[in-house]
Amino acid sequence: MYDVTRRETFDNLSTWLQDCRAHANPNMVITLVGNKADISHRRAVSTEEGEMFARENGLLFVEASAKTADHVEDAFIATAREVVKNIDAGLDVKDESNGVKLGYVAGGGASDTVGLNAPPRVEQSGCC
């Protein structure tokens, strides 16, 4: 993530990405998020620059605003879809060293599939 109003955060992306790739699973999906997209009058990094960096480095890209929540969910959904695409292409989800850990579905069983359209899990606590 970088701040679209602070050029230095964008300029540091190459170093951050290099560190991330050096220390993380090679199968990871990385989404580059340009934050504070709601502050267009203070923009120091153009959308095109962010898109180009993402394209050149094989990243997903979205601009968002944590303040207004615009496109925040889009970043998570795009990342999840890419993970599912990798699984569909043959990524072995039973081998956790590949960076994917199967979760649990309602009813207590382990999930054999990853579904983006599954209803959200509701957790209850206490007596009610």
pLDDT beneath 50, residues of the chain: 110, 112-122, 128
Q: What is the pLDDT of residue 97?
A: 73
Name the residue range of residue 50's domain.
Answer: 2-98
For the chain, the straight-line distance linking the first and the last C-alpha, in angstroms and rounded, comes to 39
- pLDDT at res. 61: 98
What 6-9 contacts at long range (C-beta under 8 Å, 24+ apart), as own/partner pairs, is 6/44, 7/44, 7/45
DSSP string, 47-98: HHHHHHHHHHTT-EEEE--TTT-TTHHHHHHHHHHHHHHHHHTT--TT-GGG
**Is 10 inside any structural domain?**
yes
Q: Is 14 domain-assigned? A: yes
Q: Is residue 118 part of a domain?
A: no
Domain count, the chain: 1
pLDDT at 104: 60
Residue 63 counted as domain residue: yes
Residue 100 has a pLDDT of 74
